[in-house]
Amino acid sequence: MDDQPEVEPGGELPDEALEAEGADEYGEGIGAEGAEELSLTQLVDVLTAERDEYLRALQLTKADFDNYRRRMQRMEAELQDRKVISVFERLLPKLDDLNSLYLHKLGTEDEDVVTKTVLPLFAALASEGLDRIEATGVPFDPELHQAVLHEDGDDGPVVAEVMRVGYAFKGRTLRPAMVKVVG
């Protein structure tokens, strides 16, 4: 700290201090010969501009990194969803079997056992995002329904009967419901 040059009363560093500091400490932008001509105010302005340039570069780098992080999180979530969809798609035939078993056992002595087994399983899958596509009595939607039978009717096309349950995951149709349409 003792090596620091003293500021003259006019607010400028002595010429030899400017040469030494301009050439060594401040690097580019201020050469030894250019430092002689700069006042302390001009030196501060130059350094402030350089600082602002570095700050802008840092802000851009930070914004790029934030965008990269968000993009990677989004891609990771999409990959996770694709894995879950793959598992659900392999389970769909077994869910059809369980649904048929449940419907077959309604009104029998085994109804209670099947109800306590099948319904909680469907509820657990629904909590993970697998939703049954409601079809009976709703207007026909080719995104959600696959028409396999058709009857004439008075109104627009309405689903009259569900032949096979359809499923969706987070709003994306995994398998459309196989339905009979009237209208």
Please state the rounded mean pLDDT for residues 47-64: 96
By residue range, what is the domain housing residue 182?
132-183
In a domain, 171, yes or no: yes
Give the H/E segment covering residue 151: strand 145-151
Tell whether the model's pLDDT for residue 29 goes beyond 50: yes
The torsion of the CA quartet 99, 101, 107, 108, rounded to 10 degrees, works out to -160
174 or 35: which leads in pLDDT: 174
The pLDDT value given to residue 30: 53
In a domain, 96, yes or no: no
Please state the rounded mean pLDDT for residues 104-108: 83
- Express the helix, strand and coil content of the chain in percent, nearest 5 each: 55, 20, 30
In a domain, 109, yes or no: no
Structurally, how many domains does the chain consist of? 1
CA distance 133 to 145: 9
In a domain, 57, yes or no: no
Q: What is the pTM of this model?
A: 0.61
Tell whether the model's pLDDT for residue 24 goes beyond 90: no
In a domain, 179, yes or no: yes
CATH, residue 157: 2.30.22.10
Tell whether the model's pLDDT for residue 20 goes beyond 80: no
The pLDDT value given to residue 35: 54
Within 13 A of 113's CA, how many CA atoms are on the CB side?
6
The pLDDT value given to residue 114: 83
In a domain, 142, yes or no: yes
Tell whether the model's pLDDT for residue 9 goes beyond 80: no
In a domain, 21, yes or no: no
In a domain, 125, yes or no: no
Could you report the per-residue pLDDT of 108-158, keeping only the tens digit for each?
A: 888 888 888 888 999 999 998 999 988 888 888 889 898 888 888 777 888
CA distance 163 to 146: 10
